[in-house]
Amino acid sequence: MKYDISDLLYGLDLAGGGDEVDITRLRARVEAKLKAEQAKPDGRPKRRRLARTAVIAAACAAALGVTAIASALGGFGWLRETVDPEYIGLVEPVERSAACNGIKMTVIAAQEYGDMGVYYVSLQDTEGLGRVNESAVPFWFDKSGPRSEELVYYDAETQTAVYERRIDIQRGGFEQADYLALEALCYSTVELGDMRVGADLASAFVNGESVGEPYADTGGRVPEPGLTRGRAADIPGSGGAYVSAFGSNCGFFAVQVCWPDSERYYSILPYLLTEDGERIDMRFQLYTVEPQGDGYSLSEFMFDADAETLSRCELHFEGYYSELVKGGWRVDLELGDAPELKRLTAELGGAGEVEIIVSPLGVSMRGRYGALRDALEDEELSLEAGDGRIELGAAATGISDGVSADQLFWHAPETIDPNAVSALTVAGERIEL
């Protein structure tokens, strides 16, 4: 029967409360876990994603040495051999941890390539309270820009999760974090179902408080929360949330909501339902969420609906809450210079002058605000490499600083060797590299 050494050792207390690894304790723990694994129906620990494994000998402690074993648990070698994620060949070891409130965060490996980056981060509930699970949602703080995340490994026994985080980095005018922080972790989600609030919406819109200039006169800027907080209506079944005000904000029907600022994360969103069963979703969700100092947080939601429409509507809410563990997890990053980049500047039709970076993770472009996204956001991009072509499709993400620059990002379906790329084609234009 085959076992991965990290499967047998990961998550074990090898020191028994001391600073040094206890060899006797190590042998007993490995033997106990080996017996437990053999007793399972399939002889393997349950994993979300399995990778290449190695046959091990019982004398692993003597073969590897105590220090090597201790450093391998949840480290870069463990990530490579046990998880074997997609971009393992593009990252460098970091292996730095931060622990708080029984949750351990480890940045196992990371690397940035120009305007793109990839991080492998693990979370472990060291108190075994079930807070790190397959549906847990971490709230990270790192580089500015779009990002995607995938859970690539989960072990229920040690309550350990590993996340692959792809980050597209916003450049220019933004101070970028040189660290990764975890602000909170959501777990144990409870769906709240449909919640109806009885209120005369048309009257609340016409006769309620009115703030802000009409939207057309604001230059298209998103309104800011502005209604005076009160207590307009309860939201039944919400766990303590309520409507604090109805009114008009920049000509939109505004619904102001307060919810408990507690050890829970709330997501409670309103929608309108007409007498014919037609659903009307909000026009804006104002993300300015401010604690009020009395145990509640507040935000406002805007609907593009006039009084006549509102007279035929009911106000409903839907959402969920999750238990929340907060803390101060932070790991400073000192990443080495990334190799294998191609940088150039080129004229691209209506986009004008564009800065282009080809990296192992894909292609990024930075150009004039408004022009780059208008010209290329929906355009497919392909690369010529050797005798073949790599299709990247349309831009995966795009961001703007709102003043001078746009950025677009095309993600590669597989790792790219930039040195092998001879040309790229986008919007019918071919550019030699």
> CA triplet 16, 17, 22: central angle to 5 degrees?
35
- DSSP secondary structure string, 56-77? --TTHHHHH-HHHHHHHTTSHH
CA distance 221 to 251: 13
CA 241, CA 234: separation in Å to the nearest integer?
7
Cα 219 to chain centroid, rounded: 31
Report the SS3 class of residue 423. strand
| pLDDT at residue 81, as a whole number | 93
Instruction: For residue 318, give the nearest of 269, 365, 273, 276 by alpha carbon.
Output: 269
Q: Does domain 342-432 have CATH number 2.60.40?
A: yes
Asked if residues 209 and 187 have their Cβ atoms less than 8 Å apart, the reply is no
331 DSSP β-pair partners: 180
How many whole angstroms separate alpha carbon 101 and alpha carbon 126? Answer: 9
Pick the CATH number of 85-191 from 2.40.110.20, 2.60.40.1630, 3.40.50.80, 3.40.50.300: 2.60.40.1630
Q: What is the pLDDT along the chain (433 residues), one digit of tens a residue?
A: 333 333 344 344 444 444 444 444 444 444 444 444 444 334 333 333 333 222 222 233 333 333 333 344 579 999 999 999 999 999 999 999 999 999 999 999 999 998 899 999 999 999 999 999 999 999 888 877 778 899 999 999 999 999 999 999 887 656 677 889 998 999 988 899 999 999 999 999 999 999 888 776 555 566 676 888 899 999 999 888 999 999 998 889 999 999 887 778 888 899 999 999 999 999 887 755 555 567 788 889 999 999 999 999 999 999 998 888 988 899 999 888 777 789 999 998 888 999 999 999 999 999 998 899 889 989 999 999 988 999 999 998 888 776 788 899 999 988 999 999 999 999 999 999 8
DSSP 280-297: E--SEE----EE-SSSEE
What are the residues facing 389 on neighbouring strands?
A: 384
Strands 296-303 and 284-285: antiparallel
Tokens standing for residue 244: 């604090």
Q: Where in the chain is the domain with CATH 2.60.40.1630?
A: 85-191
